[in-house]
């Protein structure tokens, strides 16, 4: 079992590597801009074709591929070597690389689509930021609906839970919560790592309960119930809907500010206009910076709904001991940082710190 010192070291190294990755990406994008590389690349592409979307796509692909290559060694250290070093990951490097390639392909397609939407709108209307925010909001809804059906199977195998008694118990719990589910499925997480979790996914007749096999086989049944009750709380409270609304509002503000910064960068970077593909690295830098600013706000909202889901789980199961036991076991398996510095928690944590969740459960038990 991992010690608290291991968790502290692991998270300290992850934070350092994460900040290094941000600095490396920002430095790369600034270099591409300041050196005139993106301007020269745009000029070359414009000689070959005058189709705007092809120009944008080529510049985005070249700049994006360069960023992937520059950041690849750091991603290997942070995403593969370090988790293996601390026992979180046991997936072979080839499997990890394959998953990374699939994730990069999906991200690349979505990212390119987003860039084309932004540059297409920049060309035709000063209200591009408002329309783009609406498009991104609708795409977010579609991705939330399609994620469990189309994306999860690309990375995991799902099978029906082999324990009928446990399935009946979990379905009864869902029924008590007012959530109708067609069954319980298991994700083969143990093939990749030791981490454990659960989820309630789908809508209507497709709604199902998903358990990591590490949870289904490694936890006591009342602990599995406690973890699922938390996830049911998210479903009952409509947290997917609430999250999309909050994210939509943050996206709207982000694009409004991005419009100002993009236009301010035209003269500074000698661009023809805000729609000049040569300014694409500037767009990436602007979105990175604004994303960093909004992160604490998004995390504050996330911690709030996570506390509500914890409270729902305790009220539904009326078994704080099982909840506390599940949290302790999850913390050990996932190498959680039990009580990070308060500022770190406020800025970076989407969930309340483990010790705070356990203390809250003990208070409910009193």
Quick: pLDDT tens for 21-56.
999 999 999 999 999 999 999 999 999 999 999 999
- What is the signed CA dihedral for 284, 34, 45, 50, rounded to 10 degrees? 70
318: exposed, middle or buried (Cβ count in 10 Å: 0-12, 13-18, 19+): exposed
Asked if residue 2 has pLDDT above 60, the reply is no
What superfamily does domain 158-234 belong to in CATH?
Answer: Metalloproteases ("zincins"), catalytic domain (3.30.2010.10)
Q: What is the pLDDT of residue 148?
A: 76
- pLDDT tens digits for 153-207? 889 998 999 999 999 999 999 999 999 888 999 999 999 999 999 998 876 666 7
The number of beta carbons lying within 10 Å of the beta carbon of residue 190 is 18
- Side by side, the strands of the sheet bearing 184-187 are 158-160, 184-187, 208-212, 198-201
- Mean pLDDT is lowest, of 83-87, 137-141, 168-172, 286-290, for 137-141
Q: What is the pLDDT of residue 36?
A: 95
**Which of 346, 308, 354 is closest to 330 using CA atoms?**
354
CA atoms within 13 A on the CB side of 38: 29
Mean pLDDT over residues 140-157, rounded? Answer: 84
Q: What is the pLDDT of residue 147?
A: 79
- How far is residue 24's CA from residue 120's CA, in Å, rounded to a whole number? 29
Q: What is the pLDDT of residue 3?
A: 56
Asked if residue 287 has pLDDT above 80, the reply is yes
Q: What is the pLDDT of residue 139?
A: 92
Q: Answer for the pair 322, 337: CB distance below 8 angstroms, yes or no.
A: no
142: exposed, middle or buried (Cβ count in 10 Å: 0-12, 13-18, 19+): exposed
- How far is residue 93's CA from residue 20's CA, in Å, rounded to a whole number? 22
Asked if residue 131 has pLDDT above 50, the reply is yes
Q: What is the pLDDT of residue 365?
A: 43
Q: What is the pLDDT of residue 207?
A: 79
Q: What is the pLDDT of residue 366?
A: 40
Mean pLDDT over residues 244-257, rounded? Answer: 95
Question: What is the per-residue DSSP string for 69-103?
Answer: HHHHHHHHIIIIIHHHHTTSB---HHHHHHHHHHH
User: What are the backbone angles phi and psi of residue 202, rounded to the nearest 5°?
Assistant: 90, 170
Residue-level length of the chain? 366
Beta strands of the chain (E only): which ranges? 158-160, 184-187, 198-201, 208-212
- pLDDT tens digits for 332-348? 999 999 999 999 999 99
- pLDDT tens digits for 68-89? 999 999 999 999 999 999 999 9
Tokens describing residue 180: 């109708």
Question: What is the per-residue DSSP string for 270-310?
Answer: T-SSTT-GGGHHHHHHHHHHHHHHHHHHHHHHHHHHHHHHH
CA atoms within 13 A on the CB side of 308: 15
**Domain-wise residue ranges, the chain:** 4-157+236-365, 158-234
Mean pLDDT across the chain, nearest whole number? Answer: 93
Mean pLDDT over residues 104-124, rounded? Answer: 96
> 3-class DSSP state for residue 193?
strand
Mean pLDDT over residues 289-305, rounded? Answer: 96
154: exposed, middle or buried (Cβ count in 10 Å: 0-12, 13-18, 19+): exposed
């Amino acid at each position: 079992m991992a010690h608290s010192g291991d968790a502290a070291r692991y998270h300290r190294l992850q934070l350092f590597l994460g900040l290094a990755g941000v600095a490396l990406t920002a430095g790369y994008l600034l270099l591409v801009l300041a050196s005139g590389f993106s301007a020269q690349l745009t000029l070359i592409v414009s000689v070959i074709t005058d189709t705007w979307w092809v120009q944008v796509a080529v510049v985005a692909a070249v700049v994006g591929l360069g960023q992937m290559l520059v950041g690849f060694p750091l991603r290997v250290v942070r995403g593969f070597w370090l988790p293996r070093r601390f026992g979180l990951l046991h997936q072979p490097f080839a499997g990890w690389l394959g998953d990374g390639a699939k994730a990069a392909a999906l991200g690349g397609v979505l990212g390119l689509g987003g860039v084309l939407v932004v540059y297409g709108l920049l060309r035709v209307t000063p209200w591009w930021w408002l329309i783009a925010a609406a498009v991104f909001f609708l795409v977010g809804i579609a991705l939330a609906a399609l994620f469990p059906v189309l994306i999860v199977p690309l990375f995991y195998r799902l099978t029906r839970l082999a324990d009928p008694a446990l399935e009946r118990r979990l379905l009864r719990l869902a029924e008590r919560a007012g959530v109708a589910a067609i069954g319980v499925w298991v994700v083969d997480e143990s093939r990749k790592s030791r981490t454990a979790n659960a989820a309630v996914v789908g809508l209507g007749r497709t709604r199902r309960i998903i358990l990591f096999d590490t949870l289904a086989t490694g936890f006591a049944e009342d602990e599995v119930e406690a973890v699922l009750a938390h996830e049911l709380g998210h479903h009952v409270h409509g947290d997917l809907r609430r999250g999309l609304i909050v994210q939509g509002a943050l996206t709207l503000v982000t694009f409004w500010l991005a419009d100002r910064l993009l236009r301010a960068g035209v003269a500074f970077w000698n661009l023809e206009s805000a729609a000049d593909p040569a300014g694409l690295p500037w767009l990436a830098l602007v979105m990175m910076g604004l994303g960093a600013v909004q992160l604490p706000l998004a995390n504050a909202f996330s911690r709030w709904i996570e506390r509500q889901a914890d409270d729902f789980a305790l009220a539904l199961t009326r078994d704080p001991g099982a909840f506390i036991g599940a949290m302790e076991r999850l913390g050990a398996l996932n190498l959680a940082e039990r009580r990070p510095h308060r500022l770190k928690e406020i800025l970076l944590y989407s969930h309340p710190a483990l010790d705070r969740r356990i203390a809250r459960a003990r208070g409910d038990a009193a």
